[in-house]
Structure 1
Amino acid sequence: MAAAAAMVMLAALALLAPSARGLDRAEFPPGFLFGAATSSYQIEGAYLEDGKGLSNWDVFTHTQSREINDGRNGDVADDHYHRYMEDVEIMHDLGVNSYRFSISWARVLPRGRLGGVNTAAIAFYDRLIAALLQKGIEPFVTLHHFDLPHELETRHGGWLGAGIREEFDYYADVCFKAFGDRVKFWTTLNEPNLFTKFAYMLGMYPPKHCSPPYGNCNSGNSHREPYLAAHNMILSHAAAVDNYKRNYQATQGGSIGIVIAMKWYEPLTNSTEDILAARRALSFEVDWFLDPIFFGDYPREMREMLSSNLPTFTSEEKRLLQSKADFIGVNHYTAIYAKDCISSPCDIKTYEGNALVQAVGERDGVAIGGPTAFHGYYDVPEGMELIVKYVNQRYESTPVYITENGEWQGGLLEFTVHSGNSLEIEKFLVPPNLLPCIFNDHVSSYALSQATRSLAITVWRS
């Protein structure tokens, strides 16, 4: 059995065992998608086979292995490139009806738009898509999941250079042209809000840029570069969506959206300062990318705090942004308390630090939710309902897909199921060697078919 197939074991119990869980697919709207998700670098392997070029992660893990907890890399990973048929077969056996995966930009265009299209890569993804469809599994394709050709780092400075926009538009067009007759769900970018912070503010992802107080990298400016990279990513998204809607959507019949990492922030106290801090954290987390896409500009809170460090959109760029997105993907794993750091001292060398917010897991010694094995993440089922409602209300009429959700507990894995609106709870345990993460009680906690416009649930393979 391919190691990559472990991720779909999750779906077997979390999605397809209504008798054990008291949850029935009939409770969800017709056509609702239940699936699992992966990313190319984490599962494909074959990092230099069949004409693939080096990606930013290939270079990073080989040259800065000390930055990786266990020093490993994705050279082989789960060997999905060679064993994809086994993985598809297992997904089919489990009854999964959608599979969210990403395409390796460096595999398709090893040198970007200045080089040729790698026909072996096109053939691989053709085979994968054909195998999925033959088994009744809907491909849900992500174009950028943190990886890009290393040559584009050299040529454009990665996402910091405006030239990356044309590169991404060209890459997206290659994919639309090659696979769009069969792919009906496209995601331009996965978690660009998280990626830009980790890559250009905290220095944890390639190209490892940061500056004090967030870190001491060899290069970077944590106060400016995350927003410049984000600006180029937003405009890259807009260009790809505009192209798809003008040239492909009518004939191919698909939809295209973007996926955002979304925590839910609760005020630590009832003080005005903490209430505003929670709102500010959401603005820097969610609105940062979605407001430009749906409203044409950055949120007021960011503009007031960041001033000239936040780029501006030209009138032509605002016109491009009018293409918006057909859906919003929500990646949600936790809720957290927000403490104001404007009026009180805090440690701001953190993920929320740029919003002058400190994330706190406990209030008066009581944790916000159940423990997980991932530091700073808690099991807070109502967080899913709150964040989806927030998105529904702010970006009204836009369909929502839960594109990632799950939880790793270490030891034994516990599923908690809230059945319908009655919140009947059932629990059962699964050995961790079978499941790398769990699809927990978040699913029906927020009454998918009742309170939201959600159309899919996808579990992340950790």
Structure 2
Amino acid sequence: MAPLLAAAMNHAAHPVLRSHLGPNNESFSRHHLSSSPQSSKRRFNLSFTPRSARVGNQNGVQLLSPSEIPRRDWFPSDFIFGAATSAYQIEGAWNEDGKGESNWDHFCHNFPERIMDGSNADIGANSYHMYKTDVRLLKEMGMDAYRFSISWPRILPKGTVEGGINQDGIDYYKRLINLLLENGIEPYVTIFHWDVPQALEEKYGGFLDKTQKRIVNDYKNFAKVCFDNFGDKVKNWLTFNEPQTFTSFSYGTGVFAPGRCSPGLDCAIPTGNSLVEPYIAGHNILLAHAEAVDLYNKYYKGENGRIGLAFDVMGRVPYGTSFLDEQAKERSMDINLGWFLEPVVRGDYPFSMRSLARERLPFFSDKQQEKLVGSYNMLGINYYTSIFSKHIDISPKYSPVLNTDDAYASQETYGPDGKPIGPPMGNPWIYLYPEGLKDILMIMKNKYGNPPIYITENGIGDVDTKEKPLPMEAALNDYKRLDYIQRHISTLKESIDLGANVHGYFAWSLLDNFEWYAGYTERYGIVYVDRKNNYTRYMKESAKWLKEFNTAKKPSKKIITPA
């Protein structure tokens, strides 16, 4: 799911966590960092078509002309289009059929004030009971694939194999996977999307396990259970989703479960260390990833199996034309992308992180490096927007508070001329800048060997709060989202023409769902979920367009209507 940065900013009361104010008194927290390879000369060279060249206006949104709208036949026949979700956000049934408590169940129930609307995902989008409807919608839209995650505590209620395997949980995912395949929809499975069994949090701190053994072994065993039970039908796996977001928000700012941060900061459990704990958790994630991939490649991969992990990458543009801002952009990218990508490509963290975080950043053994390097044959990129990076001097006047402060760069919503990087998209932190996606894909091509890539998340959220309710009609007529998706698909085609090794695109999200600490105050779905009326689903205009878009591809499998 998209990291809701503006919401995180509101949780961070400590003055050091806040960056510069923009023209509308908006600010942007420094804790989410990434980069873009383009120089500041291209800062306002946006990829969307100039207003004078656009035709059509829907609800104030200037749409692309018919000749500019992307077509399915622009892409190879084996290029996949799909939609994505995660277990905690949509399933509900939080304590049904033997499921154990997750860190997010515990966090929402014990710290409701940390969720913007005080809500939880006890029901979510009710997909545990309505998965057949969800598959029908995917089929109706002509989707090639569905990316979803498996709930660790639904499979292992106590977090460990020794604590027992929940057969009801296994059976649920088998039913979902079988129904997808029967309808010609390929499952892309994320093994971990932020829901740690609470039992492991209480036993040894979850991913803060200082032994580097217990959490790694328990995760590996969980992955093995998934491979054993679903590996005969699932050929595409992602070990972790957005580890940079998970670690920085869970143990840095503390806006994610379990809600830890340093004393003096504003979070649920201010007894942590925001400069150290994210690195401990991140290190354990990388070790767990390497072990799971090693296991998969040895015993489960077969001829067609693929495995990797998904990164959240916010495009980065230098704030000004100076060399210092260019370097700030590069350091920001190192923390946002390189933190977890460099170890699986080269076996260690980026040099800038080693030099700035120093002893706070753990080291890998030779044996661990051997397993890490090349531990993927596909990668996921979650892209939403881009932002400006501005240099901060290394001096006694600047004292890092969060792990992401180690970039020594402020992240600016507005450029030096007072303008944002692109048109605002509704929710507070996403601005339309498709060029950033191309920039990132060129980094992957030119710096990291051009690995097989899937765009595993891309979308926007519509604000829906008590203070600013979103009428259902307005939510269904989501022309801003439609325009956003079309422009990013067009930019994706440009990137492929430039040599980017991209094989698929997943819209985030299939459904309106529980958006972590934003609760239900933002709707990211291409399908509307009416939570007041039996969680009935309605396709938005963006979903209807994707349906038309996908019809250009001839069906390769017999389509079977779900029961």
If the length of structure 1 is used for normalisation, what is the TM-score? Answer: 0.88
5+ unaligned residues in a row in structure 2: which ranges?
Answer: 1-63, 465-472, 510-523, 525-563
Give the C-alpha shift of residue 208 in structure 1: 1.0
Q: Contact 2:275/2:403 (CA < 8 Å) preserved in 1?
A: no
1:241 pairs with 2:293: yes
1:130 counterpart = 2:178: yes
In structure 1, the partner of 2:60 is: none
335, 342, 346: which one pairs with 1:284?
Answer: 335
* Structure 2 counterpart SS, 1:391: helix
C-alpha deviation, 1:254, in angstroms:
1.3
Structure 1 window deviating more from structure 2 (353-362 vs 284-293): it is 353-362
Looking at structure 1, the residues matched to 149 and 200 of structure 2 have their Cα atoms a distance apart, in angstroms, of: 18
Work out whether residues 62 and 73 of structure 1, in 8 Å CA contact, stay in contact via their aligned partners in 2: yes
**C-alpha contact (below 8 Å) 1:52/1:108 kept by paired residues:** yes
2:82 maps to what in 1? 35
Q: Given residue 488 of structure 2, which amino acid in structure 1 is its aligned partner?
A: H
Aligned to 1:228: 280
Q: 3-state DSSP class of the match of 2:170? A: helix
SS in 2 for 1:83: helix
Q: Which moved more, 1:209-218 or 1:184-193?
A: 209-218
Q: What residue is the counterpart of 2:475 in the other structure?
A: 432
Structure 1 residue 408 displacement after superposition? 2.7
User: What's the CA shift for 1:271?
Assistant: 1.4
The number of equivalent residue pairs is: 427
Q: Is the 8 A contact 2:381 2:453 kept in 1?
A: yes
1:273 shift after superposition = 1.4
* 2-structure distance, mates of 1:403, 1:174: 24
Q: CA deviation at 1:448?
A: 4.2
SS at match of 1:133: helix
Cα distance change, pair 306–152 in 1 and its aligned pair in 2 (3 A): same
Are 1:459 and 2:507 counterparts? yes
Residue 457 of structure 2, aligned match among 399, 404, 429: 404
Which residue of the other structure, out of 139, 153, 169, is the alignment partner of 1:92?
139
The corresponding residue for 1:307 is 358
Mapping 1:184-263, distance limit 5 Å: 184-211=235-262, 215=266, 217-250=269-302, 253-263=304-314
For residues 31-83 of structure 1, the C-alpha deviation after alignment (integer angstroms, 9 at most, x for no partner) is 11100000000100000111000000000000000000001101111110011
Change (3 A) 1:266 1:22: closer
- Cα displacement (A) at 1:148: 1.4
| 1:55 equivalent among 102, 120, 128 | 102
Q: Per-residue deviation at 1:340?
A: 1.1
Alpha carbons 1:437, 1:460 under 8 Å: kept: no
The worse-fitting range, judged by mean Cα deviation, of 74-83 and 20-29 is 20-29
Q: Is the 8 A contact 1:258 1:325 kept in 2?
A: yes
Q: Distance in 2 between matches of 1:361 and 1:22?
A: 28
1:115: Cα distance to partner?
A: 1.1
SS at match of 1:48: coil
Taking every aligned residue pair, what percent have the same amino acid on both sides?
Answer: 39
**Corresponding residue for residue 73 of structure 2:** 26
Written as runs of structure 1 = structure 2, the 5 A alignment for 1:74-89 is: 74-89=121-136
Letter of the structure 1 residue corresponding to residue 159 of structure 2:
G
Deviation at 1:455, TM superposition (A): 0.4
In 1, distance between residues paired with 2:261 and 2:296?
A: 35
C-alpha distance in structure 2 between counterparts of 1:185 and 1:20, whole Å? 34
- Deviation at 1:19? 7.2
SS at match of 1:132: helix
AA partner of residue 110 (structure 2):
T
Aligned-residue offset at 1:209 = 1.1
Taking the aligned partners of 1:214 and 1:90, their CA distance within structure 2 comes to 43
Give CA-to-partner distance per residue, 1:111-162, whole Å, 9 cap, x none: 1222111110110000000110111111000000011110010112110112
Query: Shift of residue 372 of structure 1?
Result: 2.0
| 1:324 paired to 2:375 | yes
CA RMSD of aligned residues (A): 2.2
**1:174 to 2:193 alignment:** no
Superposed displacement of residue 388, structure 1: 1.2
Q: Quick one: higher RCO (CA 8 Å, sep 6+), 1 or 2? A: 2
Deviations 1:326-383 (A, max 9, x none): 1110001011000112258789767953422111121211111111222232111101
Farther off after superposition, 197-206 or 342-351: 342-351
SS in 2 for 1:257: strand
CA distance in 1, matches of 2:403, 2:274: 12
Preserved CA contact (<8 Å) 1:102 1:144: yes
Which residue number corresponds to residue 422 of structure 1? none
Other structure's SS at 1:141 match:
strand
C-alpha change, 1:19 and 1:397, in structure 2 (3 Å) is same
Structure 1 position 20, deviation (Å): 9.1
Which structure 1 residue ranges, 5 or more long, are not aligned?
Answer: 1-16, 412-429
The one-letter code sitting in structure 1 at the alignment partner of 2:288 is: S
CA contact (8 A) 2:250 2:256 kept: yes
TM-score by length of 2: 0.73
For 2:399 and 2:427, the matched residues in 1 are separated by: 20
Task: Give the conservation status (yes or no) of the 8 Å contact 1:242–1:323.
Answer: no
